[in-house]
Amino acid sequence: MPDPVLLFRYSALTFNGHRIHCDRPYATEVEGYPGLIVHGPLIATLLVDLVRRELPDARICGFAFKAASPLFDIHPFMVCGKRGADGVALRRHRAPAPRTRLSARTARSPPAMAAP
C-alpha cells in the first residue's frame, strides 16, 4: 500500500506538484477526497514491475494503461496479471472488492528477424 512518503517521492520524481498526492489535509479538507490520491502512473509502474519480477526474461515492447477510477491511499490494493497470446493483461484491484480501477496491457516482443 503506498504511503505518504512514496506518494511524495513519486510526485517529486515526476514533477507533479498537485497537493492531492502528498498533502492529506488539503486533499481531504479542501478537495473533499477521503485520502491522498495514488498517482495513476505509479500504479502503472507497479504493474510493469510485476511483469519484470514474474517474467524476468520477458521483453516488453509496448505498454498502455487506462485508469478507470481514483485510488486512495487509505484502501489496500493488489496488482495482478494474466498471460495471454499477445501479451500480459494486467489489473489493479482494490481489496476486498475486486473492482478494476486501472487496467493495462503489454505487447509481446515481436519474433527475432533473421539477418539477411
Q: How confident is the model over 57-73, as pLDDT tens digits?
A: 878 878 888 777 888 99
Report, as an integer, the average pLDDT of 40-45. 88
Per the prediction, the chain carries an average pLDDT of 79
- Taking Cα atoms as reference points, which of 31, 1, 34 lies closest to residue 19? 31
Is the Cβ–Cβ distance between 84 and 9 less than 8 Å? no
- The Cα-based distances of 16 to 42, 60, 77 in angstroms read 12, 26, 22
**Smallest Cα–Cα separation from 94: which of 63, 70, 62?**
70
Q: How confident is the model at residue 12 (pLDDT cuts 50, 70, 90)?
A: very high
State the Cα–Cα distance between residues 111 and 86, nearest whole angstrom.
12
What integer pLDDT is reported at residue 111 of this predicted model?
44
Q: What is the rounded distance in angstroms from the CA atom of residue 89 to the CA atom of residue 97? A: 19
With 0-12 / 13-18 / 19 or more C-beta atoms within 10 angstroms meaning exposed / middle / buried, residue 51 is buried
Q: In what order do the strands lie in the sheet with 62-67?
A: 62-67, 100-107, 87-94, 77-84
**% of the chain surpassing 90 pLDDT:** 32
Q: Which of 75, 10, 62 is nearest to 39 (CA)?
A: 10
Amino acid at residue number 51:
V
7: pLDDT strictly greater than 90: yes
pLDDT tens across 47-57, in order?
888 888 888 88
113 has pLDDT over 70: no
